[in-house]
Amino acid sequence: MTIIAAADGSALGNPGPAGWAWYVDDGCWDAGGWKHATNNQGELKAVLELFRATAHLDDDLLVLCDSQYVINSVTKWMPGWKRKGWRKADGSPVMNVELLKELDEALNGRDYVFEWVKGHVGHELNEAADARARAVAEAYRRGTAIPTGPGFTAGHTVSRPRPVITPEVPAALSRDAEPEVDPARDPALSAEDDALFTLDEPTWHPFTVSLTEDEHERLHRRARDRGITPEELLRSLI
């Protein structure tokens, strides 16, 4: 049997009031957060709490996640970080290391697969997790009661073959996947190649768009209504 769940995080202002949530269905979900944290911390915490909530079960876990940072951390970068004492190739400490260590421990012995889903495009489970994570962040911002869920309840698995990693399924999604070559040991790899295994954050590319005064005002109004920055609103449309 397989548990299919979405996990998501939200941070207003990033960093700012933040929430995390995992969601299976309306009767099986949970959420929490902090007064001040980053979006990446929310994304990591959502996955961590999902694994903790299902630790007593012997079911496979399919994690639907819109954060490539989380997926890459677990399936690509973590083995190298651990070998280097939780440091990157340049010797600097890994960001969010405490959450990553807790997640590494929670993954031990579990059968799981991560599946990337694009956020904010109407994916039912992802949208449900996002709405709950954002509700927690909003509650912290407003100082109101924090909306939490019932946790994992019985009867929320589906009949599904155990995940099998085949050539058609990216190896990066396997629990045991790690780079074929350790960039720290292969001088032939360039600094750019090495960065594929050591970055904590996605690579950002500047983009300029010209707006009329009216368009600029509408952009800021819609972002304010959603409790996010104009940049986050534009990014959600991609």
* Residue 229, domain member (yes or no): no
Of 20-34, 78-92, 171-185, 220-234, least confident by mean pLDDT is 171-185
Question: How far is residue 230's CA from residue 110's CA, in Å, rounded to a whole number?
Answer: 39
Which one of 60, 130, 194, 200 is the catalytic residue? 130
Which one of 8, 30, 178, 194 is the catalytic residue? 8
Q: Is 43 a catalytic residue?
A: yes
* Residue 236, domain member (yes or no): no
The position carrying tokens 């960093």 is: 15
This prediction's pTM: 0.69
Question: How far is residue 133's CA from residue 7's CA, in Å, rounded to a whole number?
Answer: 9
* Residue 215, domain member (yes or no): no
151 touches 53 (CB < 8 A) = yes
Number of H helices and E strands in the chain, helices first, is 8, 5
Average pLDDT, the chain: 81
- Does the bond joining 15 to the residue before it have cis omega, within 30 degrees of 0? yes
Q: Is 8 a catalytic residue?
A: yes
130 touches 227 (CB < 8 A) = no
Q: Is 130 a catalytic residue?
A: yes
| Six token digits for residue 52 | 């903790």
Query: Strand, coil or helix: what is 146?
Result: coil
Which one of 30, 43, 60, 194 is the catalytic residue? 43
* Residue 233, domain member (yes or no): no
182 CB-side CA count, 13 A? 11
* Residue 7, domain member (yes or no): yes
User: Please, which residues have CB within 8 angstroms of residue 101's CB and are 6 or more apart in sequence?
Assistant: 86
Question: How far is residue 230's CA from residue 55's CA, in Å, rounded to a whole number?
Answer: 39
Which one of 13, 104, 120, 123 is the catalytic residue? 120
167: domain CATH number is: 3.30.420.10
Neighbours of 215 (CB within 10 A): 11
Instruction: Give me the percent of the chain exceeding a pLDDT of 70.
Output: 74
Total tally of structural domains belonging to the chain? 1
Which one of 49, 60, 66, 200 is the catalytic residue? 66
* Residue 217, domain member (yes or no): no
* Residue 113, domain member (yes or no): yes
Q: Is 59 a catalytic residue?
A: no
Write down the pLDDT at residue 194: 36
Write down the pLDDT at residue 158: 60
* Residue 212, domain member (yes or no): no
Domain limits for position 178: 2-203
